[in-house]
Amino acid sequence: MRVGVFICHCGSNIAGTIDVAKVAEEARKMPGVAYATDYMYTCSEPGQKEITDAIEQHKLDRVVVAACSPRMHENTFRRTIMKAGLNRYFFEQANIREHVSWIGLDKELNTQKAIDEVRMSVAKVQKNKPLFSSSFKINKRVLVIGGGVAGMQAALDCADGGLEVILVEKSPSIGGMMARLDKTFPTVDCSICILGPKMVDVAQHDLIKLHAYSEIAEIKGYVGNYQIKIKKKPSYVDWTKCTGCGLCMEKCPTKNAYDHFNFGAAPTRAINIPFPQAIPKKATIDPNYCRQFTKGKCGVCAKVCPTGAINYEQQEEIITEDVGAIITATGYGLMDIENFKEYGAGRYPDVITGIQYERFLNASGPTSGHIIRPSDHEEPKTVVFIACVGSRDKSLGVPYCSNFCCMYIAKQAILTKDHIPDSQSYVFYMDVRSPGKGYDEFTRRAQEEYGAKYIRGRVSRIYPKGKKMVVRGADTMLGTQVEIEADLVVLGNAVVAAPGAAQMAEKLHISYDTFGFYVESHPKLRPVETNTSGVYLAGACQGPKDIPASVGQGSAAAAKVLALFSKDMLESDPAIANVNINTCVGCLKCVKTCPFQAIVEDTLRNGKKVAKVIETVCAGCGVCTSTCPCGAIQLNHFTDNQLLAEVNVLCQK
């Protein structure tokens, strides 16, 4: 074996707290090392040329680079040694930046730890075997989960690129949160006016198949070949017959059904079309309120429907689709305001959420665009907005900023003045965060042109006083306590992960953070990719973001899919599990523990039951290796012998 070791300075990132020259000097003394040196930036073109030249001059057959995380440049260096004629798996990368230099300031200790890291990598690389990829065909169809603005943008971009798209939306209509808005900031243009054409484009595109009022039941397979089971929920209306005329809604005797689209701002009918511009514009029956389901008699909608579309016996349906890539754009949820008892949320009808107030402002909302107090339907003259209700609050488990609350509160303050010229708006805030293009000017406009009074401080209590709601809080700028008698209080409640986000992540085999938002592969360099090949992120499922950012990410995810599908064949990663049929006892514990369903039972010609790895499905996670009681499964490139070589050399020093 002739191993070459290259120690990277990474500017001062590594060299600032590690004596890289000493690490290189010690590496030269290690068994099997034929050449060792240090270089300022090993990942640069001259640094890569240094490696290829050394391979040729010193006849190296293994290479170790001690630098940053393999997540950053492992593929870079693998391609480099391939150009020099070596198998790409004859390479190891020792992480002496994130694992050493960035977490300690003691240069002597850091240097010794870096030497140990290099020693381990040198021991392992000598045990490495050549591995080779295999190619497989891909299905050039894409699944988009979520029909909000990010999902629609991704679907349209993919379809315009010539790909067939399967768009799944759990609500009866596409549009997401943006369809609920009255206006958008900072341009104050009609939300549905700019979203509506995009919704129509989705409905009319020949390459987009829409499954509304449906959910993902199961996902199997691997990049290029996923098998998707879609559960179409029963709407109890035959959508092939329904014309969206709305006659059933007019005649329905049940008027107290919860309106999910309006977030309970007002009740609705048991049979409902969410909003006038809905796509598909089809009626849906809520069995929790429909008298035909709760009492066994009514049938008014069936009697008045001119097309006979009502079907009380409709059952859920499972639809199977095969795709090659998945874009998840499942959006976000809002924190339940009943968590805030001090604000009277849930007890006082005149304390509402920002999205409910948005529906009051909207011409297609429950009040046809007229702002009212829910308690008596009178016009409010004094409106108090409270920002950061739940956001930036560690006690509630939400330490992060919800991104767009400051902006929509400023927008709502402006719209309140437009709707009720003699009204006065007050805004309690922690900090005004408005970093986008034209955003800071917009918040100043709310104060300077529309007279909104901003009070920096938290609200401690809200309580009723006659017809008024008394808002008691602090003004930290004046250092005093303030009380405002309001007609209506609007809470800017925190953005949280969408309901069911964790369960969806498990189906997709992707990671999510402590708050339930999906985790990208790299926050800066791979912001729409996940650690599962073929699965991409778009919109607020990754974290709170506004409309422009969501649209941009939708297009970025579509671009990644188009790049993936630019090839007819994909290469599989050979670093996967491998079963030794001679030592396998057929206990099949690995089958039960594999999170990717990549292991199945197989029967040999002699009748022996053994485990079999489906190579294209295996993600190389190694769970099966640690589960196998007899060591019959080994993970290529991370075998027991390779890992023990690292441990042994560390213990023997």
Give the DSSP letter string of 592-609: HH-TT--EEEEE-TTS-E
Indicate the length of the chain as a whole number: 653
Q: What is the pLDDT of residue 616?
A: 82
Q: What is the pLDDT of residue 311?
A: 96
Low-confidence residues in the chain, pLDDT < 70: 653
Q: Is 464 left (phi over 0), alpha (psi -120 to 50) or beta?
A: beta
Q: Sheet holding 214-222: strands in order across?
A: 214-222, 225-232, 317-323
Q: Please give the class, per CATH, of domain 3-125.
A: alpha beta
CATH number of this structure's domain 141-233+316-331+498-564:
3.50.50.60
Q: Is the dihedral of CA 110, 112, 116, 122 positive or negative?
A: positive
- Which residue is it, tokens 């009204």? 423
Residue 550 near residue 198, CB atoms below 8 Å: no
Burial class for 614, CB neighbours closer than 10 Å (0-12, 13-18, 19+): middle
CA dist., res. 490 & res. 429, Å (int): 12
CA dist., res. 168 & res. 327, Å (int): 11
CA dist., res. 615 & res. 134, Å (int): 9
Delimit the domains of the chain by residue range: 3-125, 141-233+316-331+498-564, 333-496, 577-636
Smallest CA-to-CA distance from 153 within 547, 563, 565, 567 is with 547
- 114-157: pLDDT as tens digits: 999 999 999 999 999 999 998 999 999 999 999 999 999 999 99
CA dist., res. 48 & res. 76, Å (int): 9
CATH architecture entry for 577-636: 2-Layer Sandwich (3.30)
Helices (H) and strands (E) counted in the chain, each on its own, are: 18, 32
Residues 6+ apart with CB under 8 A from 511: 505, 518, 519, 530, 531
DSSP 395: G
The torsion angles phi and psi of 36, rounded to 5 degrees, stand at -150, 140
Q: What is the pLDDT of residue 28?
A: 96
Residue 643: its H or E element: helix 640-651
CA dist., res. 162 & res. 141, Å (int): 10
CA dist., res. 519 & res. 283, Å (int): 36
Q: What is the pLDDT of residue 367?
A: 94
Residues 6+ apart with CB under 8 A from 519: 510, 511, 512, 513, 530, 531, 542
CA dist., res. 444 & res. 456, Å (int): 15
Whether the domain at 141-233+316-331+498-564 and the domain at 333-496 fall into the same CATH topology: yes
CA dist., res. 95 & res. 103, Å (int): 12
Residue 1 near residue 90, CB atoms below 8 Å: no
Q: Please give the class, per CATH, of domain 333-496.
A: alpha beta
- pTM comes to 0.90
CA dist., res. 456 & res. 454, Å (int): 6
CA dist., res. 100 & res. 19, Å (int): 12
Which residue stretches of 395-519 are H helix?
405-419, 439-448, 501-508
Q: Is the dihedral of CA 472, 477, 480, 485 positive or negative?
A: negative
Q: What is the pLDDT of residue 441?
A: 96
